């Protein structure tokens, strides 16, 4: 059996997965990696592929795509772990944002990412577990972060933008969201026993540090400290939100009075109005009322250039 199961999402990065498939195969061969490569056939397919590969005894499963592909592979590995599977996670980021790959220390360049796989240096990371919306019963895992509100609508806008990718697409989507969809429900949140009620226009519960390819949502977050880094933005004027967008890109939003930051292991969110939420950029709730989150420490081994951060 080959050591690596490589799962490539052909539609990641607005078709970059399909365009770069042969290049990925060549780079893996150049680095003398022993692998099988399989292409996903639709949403959620990577979950089953990753689960089956881990249970079959592959040493690592490599997600080739964006944050959504990595998220599905993480969920497959976590499902397998409950049944004795122990495969590590590898990443080659060719999606729109690649925020998870950035957070765990995987190089952006494809050749460098394949060299990283060949060196096989590993680190343990936490994963977030969330229940709500489409996942109210079984729940779902996330590697980078979970968002409520503004960034969810912006994520929907990104999917409609076909002519640009990466950070510029997210910036344009955020601007469109700012002027077309700007309302915050009254939200009650309990974080490790501390209760807060406020009209939050955007709530980010992060394991990693970045969203949208360039927005430094939680610049001090650690992937192995067992805690979410929360960044909460109150309802304010459009002009203030426009200013905050620039601060989010610089990672200085915590200095603004409309923004609150904190850390917590368990979070419960309840809203009077409808909640929209995403996990690693995958939208799973558009009009819900409840969300429950927990950070699960050191669950997955990731092949990475970066060692443990705490």
Q: Which of 117-131, 157-171, 260-274, 280-294 has the lowest mean pLDDT?
A: 157-171
Say whether pLDDT at 127 is over 90.
yes
Question: Quick one: tokens of 151?
Answer: 């960034």
> By CB neighbour count within 10 A (0-12 exposed, 13-18 middle, 19+ buried), where does 37 fall?
middle
The CATH number of residue 155's host domain is 2.60.200.40
Domain count within the chain: 2
- State the average pLDDT over residues 170-183: 76
Say whether pLDDT at 310 is over 60.
no
Whether residues 192 and 274 fall in one domain: yes
Q: Residue 199 falls within a domain, yes or no?
A: yes
User: What pLDDT sits at residue 203?
Assistant: 95
Is the pTM higher than 0.85? The answer reads: yes
pLDDT band with cut points at 50, 70 and 90 for residue 160: confident
Domain boundary among 120, 141, 172: 120
Whose structure tokens read 């990718």? 165
Question: Quick one: tokens of 30?
Answer: 């150049």
Q: Residue 57 falls within a domain, yes or no?
A: yes
8 A C-beta contact, residue 204 and residue 217 = yes
The CATH number of residue 85's host domain is 3.40.50.10330
Q: Residue 64 falls within a domain, yes or no?
A: yes
- State the average pLDDT over residues 238-265: 94
Whether residues 22 and 107 fall in one domain: yes
The CA R_g of the chain, rounded to the nearest whole Å, is: 19
Q: Residue 306 falls within a domain, yes or no?
A: no
User: Which range of residues forms the domain containing residue 72?
Assistant: 4-120
Whether residues 145 and 272 fall in one domain: yes
Nearest to 35 by CA among 55, 7, 67: 7
Q: Residue 218 falls within a domain, yes or no?
A: yes
């Amino acid at each position: 059996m080959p050591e690596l199961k490589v799962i490539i999402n052909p539609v990641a990065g607005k078709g970059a997965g399909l365009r770069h498939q042969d290049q990925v195969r060549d780079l893996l061969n150049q680095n003398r990696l022993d692998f099988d490569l399989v292409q996903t056939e639709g949403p959620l397919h990577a979950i089953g592929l990753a689960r089956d590969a881990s249970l079959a005894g592959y040493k690592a499963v490599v997600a080739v795509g964006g944050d959504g592909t990595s998220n599905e592979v993480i969920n497959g590995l976590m499902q397998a772990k409950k049944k004795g599977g122990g495969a590590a996670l590898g990443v080659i980021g060719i999606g729109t944002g690649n925020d998870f790959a950035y957070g765990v220390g995987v190089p952006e360049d494809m050749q460098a990412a394949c060299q990283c796989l060949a060196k096989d240096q590993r680190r343990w990371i936490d994963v977030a577990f969330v229940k709500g919306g489409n996942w109210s019963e079984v729940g779902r895992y996330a590697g980078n972060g979970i968002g409520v509100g503004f960034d969810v609508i912006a994520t929907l806008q990104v999917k409609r933008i076909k002519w640009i990718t990466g950070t510029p697409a997210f910036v344009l989507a955020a601007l469109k969201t700012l002027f077309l969809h700007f309302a915050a429900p009254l939200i009650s949140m309990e974080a490790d026993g501390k209760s807060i009620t406020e009209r939050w226009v955007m709530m980010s519960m992060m394991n990693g540090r970045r969203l949208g390819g360039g927005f430094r949502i939680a610049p001090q977050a650690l992937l192995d400290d067992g805690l979410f880094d929360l960044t909460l933005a109150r309802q304010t004027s459009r002009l203030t939100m426009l200013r905050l967008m620039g601060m989010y890109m610089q990672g200085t939003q915590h200095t603004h009075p409309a923004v609150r930051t904190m850390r917590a292991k368990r979070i419960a969110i309840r809203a009077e109005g409808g909640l929209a939420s995403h996990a690693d950029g995958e939208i799973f709730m558009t009009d819900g009322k409840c969300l429950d989150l927990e950070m699960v420490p050191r669950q997955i081994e990731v092949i990475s250039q970066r060692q443990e951060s705490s």
